[in-house]
Structure 1
C-alpha cells in the first residue's frame, strides 16, 4: 500500500523512517568525519624532525634537591618541563658494592642541542660525586607539545 493522493509517487510505509534515520546518521557521520579530518590535518601540517628534542633523566637523593634542580633547569630555559617522580628505587654498583637507594627521578623535556648545557648545570649543582644525566632523542610525539618545547627552549 502506498500513502498519499492518487497518482502521486510516494514511499512505501516504513521507508520514511528509514530515510529519516539515514539522513540523521549521515549528518552525524559528516560531523564526526569533519572533526577527525581537521584534527588529522592540523597534526599533519605541523612537521617535526625526529631527534630535535630529547628526554633527559636525572636521579636525585631527595625531593628538595630534585625540585631545586628542576626549578633551576626551567628558569635557565635548559628545558621546557621537568617532571619530578618520587620514590624510585635504584640498585647499582658503586665502589665494588651493590647499593640500593630510594631516589627521586627527574624527567626533563628539552632540545637535543641543550643536553650538554643541561648536563653541565646538573654536574655543577648536584650533590652526587657522579650525577646521572642521560638523554634519549624524541622520535615522535604530539606535534603541539613538541612545538611547545621548541617555543620555550631557545636554540643554541
Structure 2
C-alpha cells in the first residue's frame, strides 16, 4: 500500500465522550483528516469467559497510510478499554478531490 493511500482505522468505545476525546486528539494535530462517529451500536462479545451485550460508539478514522501506525498508537494511549479493537481497513479508490483534501489536513505530520 502506498504511503499516500487513505485508509480507515476502526475502533469502538463505550460512550460519546470517549469517542469525541479520541477524535479531537487525532484531528487537532493532523494525525487524522476526519473521524466519523456512529452512536447507538450494540455489541455482543465474550469477555473474561462471559458473553456481554453493551451499547458502543464506533469510530471510523480517516488517515493516510503513512500516519496509520502513529494514529493507532495515539488511539491505544487514549482508549478506555483494556483490549481495544484497532482495525486498519484499506480503502479502494478514493475520489481525487477528497484525497487531496485529506492529505492537506495531515500534511504537517507527513514531513
Unaligned runs of 5+ residues in structure 1 are 1-48
Q: What's the TM-score, normalizing by structure 2? A: 0.88
Match of 1:138 among 82, 86, 91: 91
Report whether the alignment pairs 1:71 with 2:18: no
Match of 2:40 among 71, 75, 87: 87
Unaligned runs of 5+ residues in structure 2 are none
2:3–2:64 contact (8 Å) kept in structure 1: no
* Aligned-partner Cα distance in 1 for 2:104–2:52: 40
* Aligned-partner Cα distance in 1 for 2:55–2:94: 30
Name the structure, 1 or 2, with higher relative contact order (CA <8 Å, separation 6+).
Answer: 2
Report whether the alignment pairs 1:125 with 2:52: no
Aligned positions of 1:28-67 closer than 5 A: 52-67=5-20
Q: What's the TM-score, normalizing by structure 1? A: 0.64
Identify, as 1 or 2, the structure richer in helix.
Answer: 1
* Aligned-partner Cα distance in 2 for 1:51–1:75: 20
1:55–1:109 contact (8 Å) kept in structure 2: yes
Structure exhibiting the larger radius of gyration computed from Cα positions: 1
Instruction: Say which is worse superposed, 95-104 or 62-71, in terms of deviation.
Output: 95-104
Aligned positions of 1:97-112 closer than 5 A: 97-112=50-65
2:43–2:56 contact (8 Å) kept in structure 1: yes
1:50–1:137 contact (8 Å) kept in structure 2: no
Q: 1:63 Cα deviation (Å)? A: 0.5
